[in-house]
Amino acid sequence: MLKGEENLQLLAKPKKIIVTTHHKPDGDALGSSLGLYYWLKKKGHEVQVVLSSDFPDFLDWMPGRDSLIIYPEQPTQAQQLFDEADIIFCLDYSALSRTNLLESVIREAPGQKWMIDHHLDPEDFASLSYWDSNAAATAQLIYSFIADVCQDKEAVDELIATCLYTGIMTDTGSFRFRSTTAAVHRIIANLLDAGAKNWEIHEHIYNSSTENRLRFLGYCLMNCLEVIPEYHTAIFSLSKEDLAKFKVSTGDTEGLVNYALSIKGIRLAGLFVDRTELIKLSLRSIGDIPCNEICKTHFNGGGHLNAAGGNSNEDLATVVNRFKSILPDYKQYLT
Ligand code: 5GP
Ligand code: MN
């Protein structure tokens, strides 16, 4: 759905533009941001991608990563950009709180906010929004924004294609999830035609573990996994000590929750991590089990039906016990 279409004419002349995405960006957040960045630059705009945090090591090969501005590292320079920007793109989030430190900066910035996203329940803050909760990835929406909304498919070159391919590949679990429609595959085919090297991107993302990260995975599988067979549920809980033992950094826990879901018969999987500021949780499910509803109702979060997240200020054991105690409420889905 496209709202605020009349504002699109702003792009007819060179503008000052900032691209933002959610805190701790994943492959789709960074891929869609950098893909849009390259397209806007090609159209003659002055563009910067500003992040609220660092990003995982497995994305530290992406084209354009050296041009990223990380707000906490350069607050004065970033603030000036926000003061001057004509347009602020808000990608892969539809609630400003998901940008953490940037929330008030974006809210107070004088420029127009343009949101492109695929999450449910969007907040109403944007003067233009291109939104579809059925889209497999925000990168898919960036592709159709460029190709269909702006009628500029020919501009999609190798750089843009590489970024968008990364976003779609990571948000569909390498084209496995139910969201991977024929239309997604058609876009992927166009991205390959435009020069994305699928094999190279897979190599960068999936074959770039450090030895330490792989041993950390082994440790978690051995020590941190709990299976609750009566509710077809399995969870990992990782304490601060577990993280410290392996010097875990941003992104090292990415994908871990899927190992819990890969157990035969398991339909709901959780990952609870004791981060310094709070407990972060990730849920994944198959079928109708509503991860987003569970996160929204009980853990201050949200997301999609089969993949959602949230957080809590309580201690790890309390959060995990609370999660277990609510499983009977979802008996209809889980048993
Ligand atoms: P992950 O578990 O990989 O962090 O996130 C899975 C999905 O849930 C993503 O689509 C993400 O945007 C959403 N999500 C994760 N954490 C939060 C949160 O704290 N609040 C909300 N509203 N959504 C979240
Ligand atoms: Mn996404």
Q: Mean pLDDT in the chain? A: 96
pLDDT bin (cut points 50, 70, 90) of residue 178 is confident
**Domain range for residue 225?**
211-334
The tally of domains found in the chain comes to 2
- The residue whose C-alpha atom lies closest to atom 24 belonging to ligand 1 is 309
Residues 131 and 238 in one domain: no
Residue % of the chain over a pLDDT of 70: 100
Distance of alpha carbon 35 from alpha carbon 152, whole angstroms: 14
Q: Are residues 236 and 98 in the same domain?
A: no
pLDDT band of residue 147 (cuts 50, 70, 90) is very high
Nearest CA to ligand 1 atom 6: 308
Ligand 1 geometric centre to CA of 15 (Å): 31
Q: Does any ligand 1 atom lie closer than 6 A to the CB of residue 307?
A: yes
pLDDT digits (tens, 9 = 90+) for 36-53: 999 999 999 999 999 999
Residue type, 51: L
Q: Is the CB of 304 under 6 A from ligand 1?
A: yes
Strand 233-238 and strand 46-51: pairing? unpaired
How many beta carbons lie within 10 A of that of residue 255, not counting itself? 15
Q: Which of 206, 222, 240 is the last residue of a domain?
A: 206
State mean pLDDT over 284-288.
Answer: 94
Residues 274 and 229 in one domain: yes
Q: Based on the domain organization, do 180 and 244 belong to the same domain?
A: no
Ligand 1 proximity of 133 Cβ (cutoff 6 Å): no
Residue that finishes a domain, picked among 166, 185, 206: 206
Q: Is 308 near ligand 1, meaning CB less than 6 Å away?
A: yes
Q: Any alpha helices (H) in 75-210, and if so which ranges? A: 75-84, 102-108, 138-144, 158-171, 182-193, 198-206
Q: Tell me the pTM.
A: 0.91
| Whole-number pLDDT of residue 228 | 98
pLDDT score for 276: 80
273 pLDDT band, cuts 50/70/90, is: very high
The average pLDDT across 3-18 equals: 98
pLDDT digits (tens, 9 = 90+) for 200-222: 999 999 999 999 999 999 999 99
Q: What is the pLDDT of residues 78-94, one digit of tens each?
A: 999 999 999 999 999 99
- Encoded tokens for 84: 């001057």
Report CA(25)–ligand 2 centroid distance (Å).
9
Give pLDDT, residue 250. Answer: 74
Q: Is the CB of 179 inside a 6 Å radius of any atom of ligand 1?
A: no
Distances, alpha carbon 51 to alpha carbons 6, 98, 102, 317, in Å: 28, 11, 8, 31
pLDDT band for 177, please (50, 70, 90 cuts): confident
Q: Is the CB of 48 under 6 A from ligand 1?
A: no
Q: Is the Cβ atom of 303 under 6 angstroms away from ligand 1?
A: yes
Whether 180 and 227 share a structural domain: no
- Pocket probe mutation, ligand 1, options 121, 179, 282, max atoms within 8 Å of Cβ: 282
pLDDT, tens only, 234-270 = 999 999 999 999 999 878 898 999 999 999 999 999 9
Contact by Cβ (8 Å): 94, 123: yes
